[in-house]
Structure 1
Amino acid sequence: MIFSSTITDIPEIFRLYKLATEYQKQTFPENLWPEFEPDLIRSEVEEGRQFKIMIGKKIACVWAISYNDAVIWPEDDGRSAIYIHRIATNPDFRGNDFVKIIVDWTKKLAKAEGKKYVRLDTCGNNTRLINHYKKCGFEFLGMKKLHDSKGLPAHYTNADVCYFEIEIE
């Protein structure tokens, strides 16, 4: 069900990002994903940090992880957490609780790698998404303005960022 993404998946990953942005326009247009740099996605795939959920022969959901997110989480030591980024669900498969599946998978990975936390963030005061992440087991740590977004995708520029964390037992 969960697999590492491959180079041949990149066009579908970008298609899902585009569809996710279209969905954002309908549900929370205040903060939309930009077009992501192809080199970023290619690097994640090559480094084994881009994943997919397959249903049959279709990609149902994609996401990436990172092991350091110093600009968004400056207090982190770079060894404490796994960070989940850019979850995008194929509209044909919405409603399948993929975030919960991703969270459970990431918690197991974090535990196996000796991490203390699974973290994620989102931009803007999207109460619907905040509540969804809380239902998936995240503690909402609050929101603050991100003033230095150097090296991050464009939607982080001067953004209000919501912080979420799950402590690994």
Structure 2
Amino acid sequence: MKSLTVENTTLADLEFVFELFESSIQYQEKKGYQVWRNYDRNALINDIQNKNQYKILMDGEIAIIFSVCYSDKIIWREREQADAIYLHRIVVNPTFKGQRLFGEILAWTKNRASQLNLKSVRMDTWDHNPEIVEYYKSFGFEVVEKFVTPNSEELPEHNRNLPITLLEIKP
């Protein structure tokens, strides 16, 4: 049985994190999916420095990364009531694709939400990729709304002017 741990990424992981994003963009292009036009390296560095980015290690190897935040007013607008944990920037290591590792992220995030007395786990994903929306729904997420993100400097560059689907699950 593989050993699985969740821990914060560190600046020592940064180059590999960038490689994961680049690999993900190539995969999305190859599959004809909506792709990240780029990724905001500074946002990733901030996530790491603020201890908001995590990695799931399988036998010591980074299998998947994700970021969390506890407020997302720009995306969730009036629904933002400081009562949710938000998942962002989920990227799987190609070596571990197809293993439904999102379930591990969700279990960890639900536990974190319970520890902090938060009412829900929220996330957004591309509206133009119904397969990914269905994938998240298969874990129990419900569609809340479809929305186009604003062109705001408060958002990472790769998340601006983006048609998205908002998803939510109660822990």
* Cα pair 1:71 1:148 within 8 Å, conserved: no
The residue identity in structure 1 corresponding to 2:30 is Q
Deviation at 1:33, TM superposition (A): 1.4
- Structure 2 CA distance for partners of 1:113 and 1:145, relative to 1, 3 Å: same
Q: 2: CA distance between counterparts of 1:118 and 1:100? A: 13
Q: Which residue of 2 aligns with 1:85?
A: 88
Give 1:148 deviation, angstroms.
4.7
Secondary structure, in 3 states, of the residue corresponding to 2:79? coil
Instruction: Give 3-state SS (helix, strand or coil) of 2:98's partner.
Output: coil
Residue of structure 2 in register with 1:51 after alignment: 54
Counterparts of 1:25 and 1:88, CA distance in 2: 15
Q: CA offsets, 1:21-77, max 9 Å, x none?
A: 111112343x31133333221221121111001122321110100111111011134
Structure 2: runs of 5+ lacking an equivalent: none
Q: Secondary structure at the match of 1:19?
A: helix
- Are the equivalent residues in 2 in contact too, given 1:144–1:162 (CA < 8 A)? yes
Picking from 2, 14, 39, the partner of 2:6 is: 2
Per the alignment, residue 17 of structure 1 pairs with 21
Q: Percentage identity across aligned positions?
A: 30
Task: Show the counterpart of 1:40.
Answer: 43
Q: 1:158 to 1:36 in 2, by over 3 A?
A: closer
Which one of 127, 132, 137 corresponds to residue 129 of structure 1?
Answer: 132
Partner Cα distance (1:42, 1:148) in 2: 21
Q: How far apart, in 2, do the equivalents of 1:72 and 1:155 lie?
A: 14
Q: Which runs of 5+ in 1 are unaligned?
A: none
User: Residue deviations 1:89-136, cap 9 Å, x none?
Assistant: 111111111111101110000010011110000123211001000001
Inter-partner Cα distance in structure 2 for 1:13 and 1:28: 23
Retained in 2: the 8 A contact 1:28–1:126? no
- Aligned residue type for 1:58: E
Q: Give the distance between the partners of 1:36 and 1:145, measured in 2 at CA.
A: 18
Consecutive aligned runs of 4 or more in structure 1 exceeding 4 Å deviation: none
Identify which range, 100-109 or 73-82, moves more after superposition. Answer: 73-82
